Amino acid sequence: MADVQEYKCPNCGGALNFDSGIQKMKCPFCDCEFEMDALKELDADLDKNVEDEFTWEAAGSGQWTEEETQGMKVYVCQSCGGEIVGDETMGATSCPYCDNPVVVKGSFAGDLKPDFIIPFKHDRNAAKEGLNKHLLKKFFLPKVFKDQNHIDEVKGLYVPFWLFDTDVDGQVNYEATKVRHWSDSNYDYTETSYFNVYRAGNIAFDKIPVDGSTQMPDDLMESVEPFDFNEATNFQTAYMAGYLADRYDVDDKQSINRANERVKQSTEDSFKESVVGYTTVTTKNSNIRTFNGKTSYAMYPVWILNTTYNDEKFLFAMNGQTGKFVGNLPLDKGKFALTLAGLTVGLTAIITLLQFLFY
Amino acid sequence: MFKSMKKPLLLALTLMIIATFSIPMFAINANATGAPATTTAPASDATTATASTTANTTSGSLLLDDQAGLLTAEEAPKVLEALQVASSESHCNIVVLTTNTGLAEGSIESYARSYYKNNIENKSETNHTVTLTVDIQSRKVNVHGFNVDGSKQTINDNEATEIREDITDDLTAGLYEDAFTKFAKEASKIAGAIDENGNLMKSSFPWLKRTLISLVIGFVLALIICFIIKSQLTSVAMQSGAADYIRPNSLNITQSRDQFLYSTVTKTAKPKSSDSGGSSRGGGGGSSTGSF
């Protein structure tokens, strides 16, 4: 006995019937009509919609040699619990995250050795200058914050990043619309045509960084991106002299989910660029399969600055390679309210005047 | 400081100009402030009519002409009384006309105009009139305002449409007494800004309304500008994808299919413009026609 295929309306989800008069499938609920071939292909596309498949090779198991770790100490923050690594001469006095005193815990051991490092290109002065520039042209920034802002310590920190390389096979379905307007003497008409757009293809990603430290806010680290991996070199402890290094406490397996999210999003976005000629394009579903996935471990340079304003801590970061400076700033609520009131009065007066002039 | 506000202020100016020219509510009583009238009425007629108006209105029987017989013998007096009260309160003739002749959209307006010319204009004690015309055969309904002075409006298009839409449900349900009574009240309320000398007093109300609308728009624009400026303080956010790490030239689309599924068409009735041309003497008010 042949299988009975039931089709659902892509518009309202109701069960479709075959209308012999028009030789098309028709929805009895919303009156939409569909060609049989279009429905078959849509169903076939939806059937392909299986689970995403992400395959990654584990990070290398590079180990530190005794000589490399000999002069390195682990510093522990008494307040936030953050652990940083520095050389014996570092004598770190305060935590780069919360500015509280840190103590030397002991010798460094146990972590994987980084595969790569991007050395600092911008120095401490550049970081301070970056902060000054960052505070410029900020209308709602409290004047006190700008004038009395003292960053006591600027710390150069190597942040642990897991880097993900992968090839991707993707299949993405988009819902696209074309909108057409016309009028007659009595009515304005709007016709919206709906399309199922399917794209399949492949794409590859190199060295997607995912922050491996829970102490370092993820959004802060993603905000200082991008890093140019072309300037990375094989890891050597010599590059760490004079800088601190954060210890990773999130391993590569835990970081993979974030890499997968970014891969999926960028694959959908990249394929979408080939969907042209439509008024709107919305991603409906996608099936992503990664292969040749490879993970590596690198230290990326970040200048960390923190300050306190009205008992609230503000953390700033500068990409030690590109000089990109980020960090949220406090709002002058009084100035905000005054500006809002002033603009409201001014704009109301202008709009009223314009009405008076033109009507 | 001001450099940082340049973009938001430019945006505000653009939005403000768009708001001023595109928001239909601002067109309230456009004609009353000197813009060219869409209907021209001879100035001499206007002068005559204005001079002759008194607090009284058209004789009661002319306020209701139920040719289609939509009202029962019990309902008709009630509606007539409502029309008389409304007319008296507003110093404006509030008239209900019904027909059963299958008047089309354009004809129903002509019917009202013709009734006005033959029965009301220069025959009643005020020429200010708002008519409701219902044709039961074509199921068309029209609300129309007639004025003393062609350069002023008793009601405008938006108001006419507002009244028409408010009574459409009752008309559809066959509740004619309710519909006509509601019309009497609403037309009286809107046209009620005509003083005892027949002069329009509406100018003060729209200005208050306009100022309030301007205030709301001004506040919303100010809020948008403030939030745009405030966004300068935020520079930390998660990345949405990994576009910076796509291997150069690695994107390869192997299959593409664009398939039409279905289409929907929506239609919106165009707002009926007010009378045009010089032939409609004294017919310079707003008008709105629709179906029920």
Task: For residue range B124-155, list pLDDT tens digits in order.
Answer: 777 788 999 999 888 889 998 887 554 455 67
Burial class (CB in 10 A: 0-12, 13-18, 19+), B162: middle
B250 to chain A nearest CA, in Å? 5
User: With contacts defined as CB-CB under 8 Å, which chain A residues touch B230?
Assistant: 140, 331, 336
Answer for the pair B47, B150: CB distance below 8 angstroms, yes or no: no
What are the residues whose beta carbons fall under 8 Å from the beta carbon of A174, sequence distance 6 or more? Answer: A196, A197, A198, A199, A272, A275, A281, A282, A283, A284
Report yes or no for ipTM above 0.85: no
Interface probe, candidates B261, B263, B264, B273, chain A, greatest A C-beta count within 10 A: B261
What pairs with residue A189 in β-bridges? Answer: A182, B267
Region of B192 (left: φ > 0; alpha: ψ -120 to 50; beta: rest) is alpha
Specify whether the CB–CB gap between B139 and B114 falls below 8 A. no
pLDDT at site A147: 80
Percent of chain B with pLDDT over 70: 66
Contact across the interface for B221 and A347, Cβ inside 8 Å: yes
pLDDT of residue B16: 60
What pLDDT sits at residue B213?
86
Digit-by-digit pLDDT tens for chain A (359 residues) are 444 567 778 778 788 877 777 877 888 888 788 887 777 777 777 666 667 777 777 666 577 776 666 667 777 777 777 777 776 655 445 677 676 766 556 656 566 788 899 999 998 889 988 998 999 889 999 988 888 766 767 888 899 999 999 999 999 999 999 999 999 888 899 999 999 999 999 999 999 999 998 888 999 999 999 999 999 999 887 787 778 888 788 888 889 999 999 999 999 999 999 999 999 999 999 999 998 889 999 999 999 988 888 888 888 999 999 999 999 999 999 999 999 999 999 999 998 888 777 66
Distance from chain centroid for Cα B114? 22
Look at A218 and B253 and tell me if their CB atoms are within 8 Å.
no
Per-residue pLDDT at B202 exceeds 60: no
- Measured CA to CA, the distance from residue A331 to residue A310 in angstroms comes to 11
Pick from B218, B283, B273, B289: nearest CA to B24: B273
In this predicted structure, what is the pLDDT of residue B119? 86
Residue A340: which of B3, B229, B73, B10 has the closest Cα? Answer: B229
pLDDT at B57: 44
For chain A, the farthest-separated pair of C-alpha atoms sits apart, in whole angstroms, at 88
pLDDT tens for B218-275 read: 999 999 999 999 999 999 999 989 999 999 999 999 999 999 998 888 888 876 544 3
Select the residue from B245, B260, B268 to test the A interface by mutation, using most A Cβ atoms within 10 A.
B245
- The answer to whether B259 faces chain A, any CB pair under 8 Å, is yes
**Sequence-ordered list of residues with C-beta below 8 angstroms from that of B99, at least 6 positions apart, any chain:** B67, B68, B108, B111, B133, B134, B135, B136, B137
A347/B226 CB distance under 8 A = no
SS3 string, A145-170, reads HHHCCCCCCEEEEEEEEEEEEEEEEE
Binding-face residues of B in 48-77 toward A, CB within 8 A: none
pLDDT recorded at residue B276: 35
How far is the alpha carbon of A223 from chain B, nearest alpha carbon, in Å?
Answer: 5
| Residue at A300: amino acid letter | Y
Maximum average pLDDT range among A21-25, A56-60, B117-121, B198-202: B117-121
- Kindly state whether B208 is in contact with chain A, defined as any CB-CB distance less than 8 angstroms: no
Cα distance between residue B167 and residue B164, in whole Å: 6
- Which residue in the set B21, B244, B261 is minimally distant from A225, CB to CB? B244
* Residue pLDDT, tens place only, A192-212: 999 999 999 999 999 999 999
Task: Check CB contact under 8 Å for A262 and B241.
Answer: yes
In this structure, which amino acid lies at residue B207? Answer: W
**Closest CA–CA distance from residue A132 to any residue of chain B (Å):** 14
pLDDT of residue B195: 54
Kindly tell me the sign of the dihedral angle through the C-alpha atoms of B171, B177, B182, B184.
positive
**Roughly what angle, to the nearest 10 degrees, separates helices B176-191 and B75-90?**
10
Q: What is the total residue count of chain A?
A: 359
Check CB contact of A41 with chain B, cutoff 8 Å: yes
Residue B161 is predicted with a pLDDT of 87
Q: Do B217 and A207 touch (CB under 8 A)?
A: no
pLDDT of B50 over the 80 cut: no
Q: Is residue B33 predicted with pLDDT exceeding 60?
A: no
* SS3 sequence of chain A: CCCCCCCECCCCCCECEEECCCCEEECCCCCCEECHHHHHHHHHHHHCCCCCECCEECCCCCECCHHHHHCEEEEEECCCCCEEEEECCCCCCECCCCCCEEEEEEECCCCECCCEECCCCCCHHHHHHHHHHHCCCCCCCCHHHHHCCCCCCEEEEEEEEEEEEEEEEEEEEEEEEEEEEEECCCEEEEEEEEEEEEEEEEEEEEEEEEECCCCCCHHHHHHCCCCCHHHCEECCHHHHCCCEEECCCCCHHHHHHHHHHHHHHHHHHHHHCCCCCCCEEEEEEEEEEEEEEEEEEEEEEEEEEEEEECCEEEEEEEECCCCCEECCCCCCHHHHHHHHHHHHHHHHHHHHHHHHHHC
pLDDT at A248: 83
How buried is residue B69: exposed, middle or buried, by Cβ count under 10 Å (0-12/13-18/19+)? exposed
**CATH no., domain B21-205+281-291:** 3.10.310.50
pLDDT of residue B206: 61
B222–A269 CB contact, under 8 Å:
no
**Which of B235, B272, B276, B288 has the most A C-beta neighbours within 10 Å, making it the best mutation to test the interface with A?**
B235
Q: Mind telling me how many Å the CA of B221 is from chain A's nearest CA?
A: 8
Mean pLDDT of B206-214: 77
Say which of B223, B233, B237 has its CB closest to residue A138: B233
B265 in contact with A at a CB cutoff of 8 Å?
Answer: yes
CA distances from B97 to A312, A329, B135, B141, B280 (A): 72, 68, 9, 10, 19
pLDDT, tens only, A252-290: 888 999 999 999 999 999 999 999 999 999 999 999 999
